[in-house]
Amino acid sequence: MCGIVGFTGRREAQPILLEGLARLEYRGYDSSGLATVNGKLYVRKTVGRIAALRKLLGDHPLKGNSGICHTRWATHGTVTEANAHPHLGGKGEVAVVHNGVIENYDELKRQLEAQGFQFKSQTDTEVIAHLVASLLSDDLVDAVRKALPHLKGTYALAVVSPRFPGIVVGARLGSPLVVGLGDHENFLASDASALGGFAQRVVYLEDRQLCVLTPDKWEICAADRTSADVEVHTLEWDAQDADKAEFEHFMLKEIYEQPEVIRRALAGRLNVAEATAHFDGLNLDARQLGQIDRIIMTACGTSYHAALIGEHLFEQFARIPVEVEYASEFRYRNPPIEKNTIIVGITQSGETADTLAALRESKRKGQRTIGICNVVGSSIAREVDGGVFLHAGPEIGVASTKAFIAQVTVLTLLAVHLGRMRHLSHQAGGRILDELQAMPDILRETLKCHDQVAAIADKYHHATNMLYLGRQYLFPMALEGALTLKEISYNHAEGYPAAEMKHGPIALVDENTPSVFLVPHSSVYDKVMSNLEEIKARGGPIIAIACAADTHVEAKVDDIIHVPSVPEYLQPLVTAIPLQLLAYHIALLRGCDIDKPRNLAKSVTVE
Ligand code: G6P
Of 355, 346, 430, the closest CA to residue 388 belongs to 346
**Cβ < 6 Å from ligand 1: which residues?**
300-303, 347-349, 352, 355, 398-400, 600, 602-604
Confidence (pLDDT) at 601: 82
Rg (CA), the chain: 25
Main-chain dihedrals φ then ψ at residue 477, nearest 5 degrees:
-70, -30
* C-alpha pair distances (Å), 158 with each of 111, 242, 534, 555: 23, 25, 58, 62
Minimum-distance ligand 1 atom for the alpha carbon of 380: 15
Region at 343 (left for phi over 0; alpha for psi -120 to 50; beta for the rest)? beta
Classify 282 as helix, strand or coil.
coil
Is the per-residue pLDDT at 268 higher than 80? yes
Q: Which of 331, 349, 580 best tests ligand 1's pocket when mutated (most atoms within 8 Å of CB)?
A: 349
Cross-strand pairs, 35: 43, 68
- 324-348 pLDDT, tens digit per residue, is 999 999 999 888 888 899 999 999 9
Coil, helix or strand at residue 588 = helix
Dist CA 202 CA 330 (whole Å): 33
Is 486 a known active-site residue? no
Listed residue (346, 335, 341) closest to 308, CA to CA: 346
Q: How far apart are CA 313 and CA 416, in angstroms?
A: 8
Beta-strand runs (E) in 87-149 = 87-89, 94-99
Q: Is the pLDDT of residue 576 over 90?
A: yes
- CA–centroid distance, 600 to ligand 1, in Å, is 9
Q: Long-range contacts: 78-83, Cβ < 8 Å, 24+? A: 78/122, 79/30, 79/31, 79/47, 80/31, 80/47, 80/121, 81/31, 81/45, 81/46, 81/47, 82/120, 82/121, 82/122, 83/31, 83/121, 83/122, 83/123
Under the banding of pLDDT at 50, 70 and 90, the label for residue 96 is very high
Task: Give the alpha-carbon dihedral of 282, 286, 289, 293, to 10 degrees.
Answer: 180
Catalytic residue among 2, 69, 211, 592: 2
Local structure of residue 605 (DSSP, 8 states): -
- What is the per-residue pLDDT across 498-511, written as a single tens digit (0 to 9) for each? 999 889 889 999 99
User: Which residues are within 8 A (CB) of 99 and not within 5 positions of it... i.e. 6 or more apart?
Assistant: 1, 2, 3, 4, 155, 156, 175, 190, 605
307 neighbors 297 (Cβ within 8 angstroms): yes
User: Residue 385 half-sphere exposure, CB side, CA atoms within 13 Å?
Assistant: 17
Residues 122/83, Cβ–Cβ less than 8 Å = yes
Q: Phi/psi at 56 (nearest 5 deg)?
A: -60, -45
- Please write the tens of the pLDDT for every residue from 174-214: 889 999 999 999 999 999 989 998 999 999 999 999 999 99
In the chain, % of residues over pLDDT 90: 85
H or E stretch covering 495: strand 492-497
Q: Which of 109, 402, 596, 602 is catalytic?
A: 602
Residue 488 predicted with pLDDT over 90: yes
What pLDDT, on the 0 to 100 scale, is given for residue 243? 80
What is the SS3 assignment for 148?
helix
E strand map for 100-204: 155-160, 168-173, 178-181, 186-189, 201-204
Determine the residue type at 556.
Answer: K
Q: List the beta bridge partners of residue 209.
A: 172, 222
- Predicted local distance difference test score (pLDDT) of residue 585: 98
Quote the pLDDT of residue 237.
Answer: 74
Of 557, 597, 589, nearest to 459 (Cα)? 589
Residues of the chain above pLDDT 70, percent? 100
Q: Provide the CB-side half-sphere exposure for 167 (13 A, CA).
A: 17
- CA 378 to chain CA centroid, nearest Å: 11
Instruction: Find the 22 Cα to ligand 1 centroid distance in Å.
Output: 20
Nearest alpha carbon to residue 18 among 48, 47, 44: 44
Q: What is the pLDDT of residues 134-155, one digit of tens each?
A: 999 999 999 999 999 999 999 9
pLDDT of residue 136: 97
| Residue 52 neighbours by CB under 8 Å, 6+ apart | 32, 46
DSSP-derived letter for residue 276 is E
Note the pLDDT tens digit of each residue in 22-48. Answer: 999 888 889 999 999 999 999 999 999
Cβ(502)–Cβ(528) under 8 Å? no
Q: In what order do the strands lie in the sheet with 201-204?
A: 40-47, 31-38, 66-72, 3-8, 186-189, 178-181, 201-204, 233-234
Query: How far is the centre of ligand 1, averaged over its atoms, from the C-alpha of 44 (Å)?
Result: 30
The rounded Å distance from CA 73 to ligand 1 centre is 15
Annotation marks residue 69 as catalytic: no
